Amino acid sequence: MGGPAKDARAIHPELGLCRSCLGRVASRRRGPPRPLDPDLAAECFVCRGLMDGLGRLAEVALDRISGYDYETFTVGATLKPSVLDRDDYIRSRTGAAGAASIKSALTGEVGRMMSRRTKKRVDRADPDLTVLLDTRFGSCEVRSRPVVVYMRYTKTRRGVPQKRIACGSCDGRGCGECGFSGSGPSIEGVLAGYLLERLGGADVRFTWVGGEDRDSLVLGRGRPVYARVRNPARSAAALPESTSLDGVEASGMRAAAGVPARLPPFRSMVRIVVRFGGEPDLRLIRTLAGRVLVATGPGRPSTKEVGSVRYRRMSADSFRMDAEVEGGTPIKRLVSGEGVEPSVSSVLGTECACARFDFLDIIGNS
C-alpha cells in the first residue's frame, strides 16, 4: 500500500502517464516517463483516466448551462486530493514544478471544448457564468453573475404590505391558504415572482427607497427599488420597460451596476387624511413647513424637511393635507406628534390622528 509517493518511487522511471499528463511535464522532465500504451489496461499514474474523460464532463456542463443566456464563462473544478498529490509529486519529481497543474490543464481543456461548441468566450476575471465541475462525481454546478434591476413601482390597491409577511395560518411554512408560498400577498412577493419568472434565478433581495403602509397607495412616478436576483438564467435585457401586475405597476426597469451603498436622498409628496378634535384654526397647518425634529431612539433627534403644505377641509372632524416631506419622515407621528416636533397636533393645538396617507409622488431618485 503506502501513499502515492511510495508507489511512484517503486515504479519510476517506468511511470505510465497519459498523453495529457505527459504533455504537461514533458518539456522539463528529467526522467523518461512514457505514454500509456492504449492497449494496456494500466491507467495513468497521475489522473487514473480522468483526462481521457473530459469530453463527458464537458457534455454534462454543456447540458447544465443550456438554459442560461450568457456571453462569457469560466470553468472551475474540484479534484480528488489523491490526484492532486500525485500531480504534485510527478511535477516535482520530473523537475516540472512550474508546469501547469492537472487542475488548470483540466479546466482549460474543458473550457476549450465548451467554447468550441457554444462559440462563447472564456473570461476568468469577470464571467457571466461560473461552471464548477466536481470530478469526483462527474457532476457540475452553475452559478451566474447576479443581476441588479432598478425599477419604480406604483400601487393602486390598498391593503397590500410592501414587504413579505409570514402567512398567519402556517407561520411561513407554506399551506393551502397562502398557495404554499409561506406569505400573504405583498409588493415584494409580486415583484419577486415576476422577476423570477422572467429571469429565472434562486431568489430576489430588495433594497427599497423608503416604504409605505399596507393601506397606502403609491402613485405618480412610483417608488424606486433595487432588486438583486441571485443566479439568474437571463440578463435584465429580458425585461420590458414596464409591466402591469395585479394592482402593481413596475416601470423604468433596467439593469443597474449594483445596489448603491448609500441610497440617494429623496422627497415624497404625501396626501394625508387627518382626523382632529376640538375647533382648531386649520390655517395654522401651513406653519408646519420647515424643519421638524424626529426622535429616533437615544441620542440626538434627526431633522426632516417639510414643505409645500396645503390642506382642504373634508368634514367637521377631518381634513386632507398635502405636503412634500423628506424621505424617511414618519408620517403617522408627524400628525400625532409622538416623538416629532413640531407636528400637526402641536401647530393646531389639538389632538390629531392620521387616518390614511398616500404617496402622490416620490422625487429625487431617477
Report the catalytic residues.
213
Of 99 and 148, nearer to Zn ion (C-beta) is 99
Candidates 15, 25, 44, 334; binder of Zn ion (CB under 5 A) is: 44
Cα distance between residue 8 and residue 322, in whole Å: 84
CB 319 → Zn ion: shortest distance, Å?
40
Q: Which stretch binds Zn ion (CB under 5 A): 117-125, 166-174, 184-192, 245-253?
A: 166-174
Phi, psi dihedrals of residue 54, rounded to the nearest 5°: -70, -30
Of 177 and 341, nearer to Zn ion (C-beta) is 177
Hey, is 288 helix, strand or coil? helix
CB 36 → Zn ion: shortest distance, Å?
8
Beta bridge partners of 310: 322
Hey, is 56 helix, strand or coil? helix
295 belongs to the binding site for Zn ion (CB under 5 A) = no
CB 169 → Zn ion: shortest distance, Å?
4
170 belongs to the binding site for Zn ion (CB under 5 A) = yes
Residue 251: closest CA among 327, 160, 150: 150
CB 191 → Zn ion: shortest distance, Å?
20
Candidates 14, 71, 177, 203; binder of Zn ion (CB under 5 A) is: 177
Cα distance between residue 110 and residue 202, in whole Å: 26
- Strand 72-78 with 129-134, pairing: parallel
Cα distance between residue 326 and residue 358, in whole Å: 15
114 belongs to the binding site for Zn ion (CB under 5 A) = no
Q: Which stretch binds Zn ion (CB under 5 A): 84-92, 124-132, 171-179, 353-361?
A: 171-179
Candidates 25, 46, 142, 335; binder of Zn ion (CB under 5 A) is: 46
Candidates 15, 36, 47, 187; binder of Zn ion (CB under 5 A) is: 47
CB 62 → Zn ion: shortest distance, Å?
23
Hey, is 72 helix, strand or coil? strand
For the chain, the distance separating the N- and C-terminal CA atoms, rounded to the nearest angstrom, is 69
Q: Binding string to Zn ion for residues 5 to 24, with x set by CB under 5 A, is what?
A: -------------x--x---
- 3: cell is 501513499
Candidates 62, 175, 196, 284; binder of Zn ion (CB under 5 A) is: 175
Sign of CA dihedral 7, 10, 12, 18: negative
Cα distance between residue 159 and residue 216, in whole Å: 8
Candidates 79, 167, 217, 225; binder of Zn ion (CB under 5 A) is: 167
Of 57 and 167, nearer to Zn ion (C-beta) is 167
Hey, is 237 helix, strand or coil? helix
Of 21 and 65, nearer to Zn ion (C-beta) is 21
Count of residues touching Zn ion (by CB under 5 A): 12
CB 175 → Zn ion: shortest distance, Å?
4
Contact between residue 325 and residue 304 where contact means Cβ atoms under 8 Å apart:
yes
79 belongs to the binding site for Zn ion (CB under 5 A) = no
169 belongs to the binding site for Zn ion (CB under 5 A) = yes
- Give, in order, the Cα–Cα distances in Å from 6 to each of 10, 16, 26, 359: 6, 15, 21, 76
Chain centre to alpha carbon of residue 223: 19
Write out the residues near Zn ion by the rule CB under 5 A: 18, 21, 44, 46-47, 51, 167, 169-170, 175, 177-178
